[in-house]
Amino acid sequence: MNLLAPYRDAQKVQSLAAELARISKKPAAIMEICGGQTHAILKYGLEQLLPKHIELLHGPGCPVCVTPASILDHAIWLCLRHNITLCSFGDMLRVPGQLGSLAWAKSQGGDVRIVYSPLDAVEFARQNPEKKVVFLAIGFETTAPANALAARRAKELQLQNFWLLVSHVLVPPAICALLESPECRIQGFLAAGHVCTVMGFQEYQPIAKKYKVPIVVTGFEPVDIFRGILQCIRQIEAGLAEVENAYERVVRPEGNPTAKALIEEVFEVCDREWRGIGILPKSGFRLRDCYAEWDASRKLPTFHQNSTNNNNLSTHCRSGEVLQGKIKPPDCPFFGKECTPENPLGATMVSSEGACAAYYTYHYKAKP
């Protein structure tokens, strides 16, 4: 039995598209936050079913894409200069930093290991006490519980050879930063369903009220996404700005209380740098003082960048504008030419959730 079949039903999508065409009268620009949603939109050709006056903007919800080069370079430097075993998820392997990539570091003799869970890194450290092990803990609220669990486990074991290099970011502050930009064209948001599965969506309600934009919690399949767009457009047409849940089968208003309690125990909110965007106040997590012994940024040597060009590696790369919905990937003159998945200028071209990678994979047309 294919459990996803009802959410990939072409007739259902066509029915939702017809209803959208019937009710939609005003021009509207809606941003999907999550890179997974961006890939689904392009993979299934959902934009082609929209009325011409409705535009989808692609947001900064790719965890790999917004991880700053400074964190990546710190990880590479620890690996190559301080004999650290660097554990990471595979999607970070080819992301370029100023020093290179994790794949490059591995080719230079660095001990870079791909793991499928942060607990795998903890267990590796436990079984190899002679090695110094760092887990690169990145992502949005979705991955925070697992990383928090790894920190708690390391503390329980009192491991002296394991640390987390943390670069967690949070969705609501990013939404506020986008809406406060003088160039903002966003009239509604599709919120990421997996983030809301953990955190709930109550914290979005003050944002919708303050900035007068509808926010609809949305899943990742074609029916989910089109339903989210339809509910967002209904609000825009009616002049409403509310938070709605179009992903009821997974998301509850309060989120996951157990996961949230674990995050609260281990992490605290801090200012955080976003690649291509800059530092956003109170937009990330860091380890609390009671977990300082397992914080790589406090307990291991600190890497200092020589260059001020840390947000965008290449002066040509326009991924920061892509992440903020200011341009679409094909608008960049280097897209598909100097910048390809084999030779990426920025993380958005090499990440499995990056908008540039999505356009290159599903919608690529070389410019003359």
- For the entire predicted model, the pTM comes to 0.93
Q: Check: CB of residue 312 under 8 Å from CB of residue 276.
A: yes
Mean residue pLDDT across the chain: 94
Amino acid letter, residue 75: A
Domain assignment of residue 53, yes or no: yes
Domain assignment of residue 33, yes or no: yes
Say what percent of the chain tops pLDDT 90: 91
Mapped onto helix, strand or coil, the DSSP state of residue 264 is helix
Per-residue pLDDT of 150-209, as tens digits, reads: 999 999 999 999 999 999 999 999 999 999 999 999 999 999 999 999 999 999 999 999
What is d(CA 20, CA 122) in angstroms, rounded to the nearest whole number?
Answer: 49
Q: How confident is the model at residue 259 (pLDDT cuts 50, 70, 90)?
A: very high
208: domain CATH number is 3.40.50.11750
- Half-sphere exposure of 35 toward its Cβ, with a 13 Å CA cutoff? 25
What is d(CA 60, CA 354) in angstroms, rounded to the nearest whole number?
Answer: 9
Domain assignment of residue 50, yes or no: yes
Per-residue pLDDT of 281-301, as tens digits, reads: 999 999 999 999 999 999 999
Q: What pLDDT does 254 receive?
A: 97
248: closest CA among 203, 206, 201? 201
Domain assignment of residue 168, yes or no: no
Q: Check: CB of residue 62 under 8 Å from CB of residue 273.
A: no
Domains in the chain, number: 1
Domain assignment of residue 44, yes or no: yes
Domain assignment of residue 28, yes or no: yes
Domain assignment of residue 80, yes or no: no
Amino acid letter, residue 368: P
Higher pLDDT pick, 89 / 307 = 89
Q: What pLDDT does 368 receive?
A: 43
Between CA 199 and CA 204, with CA 203 as vertex, the angle to 5 degrees is 110
Domain of 216, in residue numbers: 20-62+188-245
Q: Is the pLDDT assigned to residue 309 strictly greater than 80? A: no
Pairs from 232-236 (Cβ < 8 Å, separation ≥ 24): 232/28, 232/30, 232/188, 232/189, 232/190, 233/20, 233/23, 233/24, 233/28, 233/30, 233/54, 233/188, 234/23, 235/188, 236/26, 236/28, 236/187, 236/188
Domain assignment of residue 83, yes or no: no
Per-residue pLDDT of 38-68, as tens digits, reads: 999 999 999 999 999 999 999 999 999 999 9
